[in-house]
Amino acid sequence: MPLILALVRELAEYEHLSHEVVATEEDFRESLFGERPVAEALLGYAGGEPAGFALFFHNFSTFLGRPGLYLEDLYVRPGFRGSGLGVALLSRVAELARERGCGRLEWSVLKWNEPAIGFYESLGAVPMDGWTVYRITGEDLRSLAGRA
* Ranges of the chain whose pLDDT falls below 50: none
* Domains assigned to the chain: 2-145 (3.40.630.30)
What is the reported pLDDT for 86? 97
- What distance in Å separates the CA atoms of residue 121 and residue 38, rounded to the nearest whole number? 28
The question of whether 70 is a catalytic residue gets the answer no
What is the reported pLDDT for 118? 96
What is the reported pLDDT for 136? 95
Contact 32, 68 (CB under 8 A): no
Instruction: Show the CA angle centred on residue 84, arms to residues 95 and 10, nearest 5°.
Output: 95
Pairing of strands 49-61, 105-107: unpaired
Q: Report which DSSP code applies to 52.
A: E
- What distance in Å separates the CA atoms of residue 98 and residue 68, rounded to the nearest whole number? 9
- What distance in Å separates the CA atoms of residue 4 and residue 7, rounded to the nearest whole number? 5
Active-site residue, from 45, 75, 120, 134: 120
pTM of the complete model: 0.94
